[in-house]
Amino acid sequence: MSLTFENIVREVQNLLSDKGGTSKRTIERFVNMAQRDIAGKHDWPNLLVRDFVSLVAPYTTGTVSTSTTTVTGVGTTFTSGMEGRKFAKDYNSPWYEIATFTSSTVIVLADDYAETDLSGATYVIYEDRVSMPANCEGILGIWLHDTSRRIQLDDRTESQLPFWGPNAEWGGYVRQADKPYQFAVVENDSTGALQIQLGPYAPDSAYRLEVIYRKDVVDGTMGLLDRLAQPLINLAYAYCAPRDHQDQAQRMEAWAIRKIEEAWAANRRTTETFRVGQMTSVDITDPAPFYVNYRSLEGQ
């Protein structure tokens, strides 16, 4: 069966045609729901992507003075790309988000600078919270590339990243810049893209992050394997079947779940050794032969 959105909707319509009928819009909604449920059950190989995200080096050029939310620089070259990054006296001090770029010598903070005002002082602008590609639904692994090796980042929760200062559990400051070796998924950015927080250090250079992730399934399009077409039809039918046909719906849902697990068993190894473009295949379940694990950096 050709796995297109219209074909799936039509098949569900046919199953419902002698049961009072259901509007096409309703069926489309349940097909989208069923597809997302199936996509989220496993890391299907056709939904996996390897991509790269660039980090930025800290910026410390010139000196600055502060007054309420305004930061005025001397010898600085501020840019619009600094909006959203963190401004601080140093890494061991509270940070303030940069809200607006005004000129190469003036930026505006999101909140009043509550510390002792700076005057002709050194400072740092850094970025340790990074947005993932727009279609990233879930992260399987992240590796930091420096000049000589790839470092596997440890996946943490927000509360597990060690930060210091007020609200140190989260939102505190990083104390220093170095190679980050941990990350935590945090709230989405203003565009809706998934974000990660790096730690326990702010990046000290413009590294690249290699990200293996599961891409989002877009409503109204099909992103599943062809062998999942019939399970998808059955599951969508089960979701929107009339109440007086719930016994049949439950049987069809149970069959669909069994076939989904059979499809995963047949494709699991493909996921573990998937390729993106011409890049060398990587066993996702055991990246150690290809990468330096973050634990090897602890204590360095």
Residue 169, judged by CB atoms within 10 A of its CB (0-12, 13-18, 19+), counts as: exposed
Query: Do 136 and 204 fall within a single domain?
Result: yes
Query: Do 209 and 245 fall within a single domain?
Result: no
Place of tokens 């494709």: 267
As a whole number of angstroms, the distance between CA 64 and CA 8 comes to: 61
Highest mean pLDDT among 44-53, 148-157, 263-272, 286-295: 44-53
Among residues 196, 215, 234, which one ends one of the domains?
Answer: 215
Highest mean pLDDT among 145-159, 164-178, 211-225, 266-280: 211-225
Query: Do 154 and 204 fall within a single domain?
Result: yes
Tally of structural domains, the chain: 3
User: Residue 175 is encoded by which pair of tokens?
Assistant: 């104390």
Query: Do 182 and 147 fall within a single domain?
Result: yes
> Mean pLDDT, to the nearest integer, of 148-156?
86
Answer yes or no: is 299 within a domain.
no
Answer yes or no: is 283 within a domain.
no
Query: Do 225 and 209 fall within a single domain?
Result: no
Residue 288, judged by CB atoms within 10 A of its CB (0-12, 13-18, 19+), counts as: exposed
As a whole number of angstroms, the distance between CA 94 and CA 115 comes to: 8
Place of tokens 């602890």: 298
Report the DSSP beta bridge partners of residue 209.
53, 144
pLDDT category at 96 given cuts 50, 70, 90 is very high
According to the model, what pLDDT value does residue 252 have?
95
Side chain identity, residue 211: V
pLDDT, the chain, mean: 85
Report the DSSP beta bridge partners of residue 208.
54, 145
Answer yes or no: is 231 within a domain.
yes
Query: Do 87 and 147 fall within a single domain?
Result: no
Query: Do 251 and 240 fall within a single domain?
Result: yes
> What's 280's DSSP letter?
P
Left if phi > 0, otherwise alpha if psi is -120 to 50, otherwise beta: which for 203?
A: beta
pLDDT over 70 (residue 128): yes
Structure confidence by residue, pLDDT tens digits, 193-235 = 999 999 888 999 999 999 999 999 999 999 999 999 999 999 9
Structure confidence by residue, pLDDT tens digits, 271-294 = 777 544 334 433 333 333 333 333
As a whole number of angstroms, the distance between CA 186 and CA 100 comes to: 23
Backbone φ, ψ for residue 217 (5° rounding): -95, 125
pLDDT > 70 in the chain, percent: 84
Answer yes or no: is 288 within a domain.
no
Place of tokens 């890494």: 91
**What kind and span of H or E run contains 181?**
none
Query: Do 109 and 95 fall within a single domain?
Result: yes
Query: Do 193 and 133 fall within a single domain?
Result: yes
Span of 128-132, 133-137, 167-171, 255-259 with lowest mean pLDDT: 167-171
Q: How many CB atoms are closer than 10 A to CB 157?
A: 10
According to the model, what pLDDT value does residue 21 have?
66
Query: Do 207 and 155 fall within a single domain?
Result: yes
Give the long-range contacts of residues 95-101, CB within 8 A, separation 24 or more. 95/173, 98/125, 99/69
> Mean pLDDT, to the nearest integer, of 62-81?
98
Query: Do 67 and 117 fall within a single domain?
Result: yes
Side chain identity, residue 31: V
Q: pTM score > 0.85 for this model?
A: no
- 30: domain range? 5-47+217-272
As a whole number of angstroms, the distance between CA 266 and CA 273 comes to: 13
Is residue 9 within 8 Å of residue 218, measured between CB atoms?
A: no
Is residue 193 within 8 Å of residue 136, measured between CB atoms?
A: yes
As a whole number of angstroms, the distance between CA 120 and CA 113 comes to: 15
Cα 33 to Cα 11, 30, 170, 294: the distances in Å are: 16, 5, 34, 37
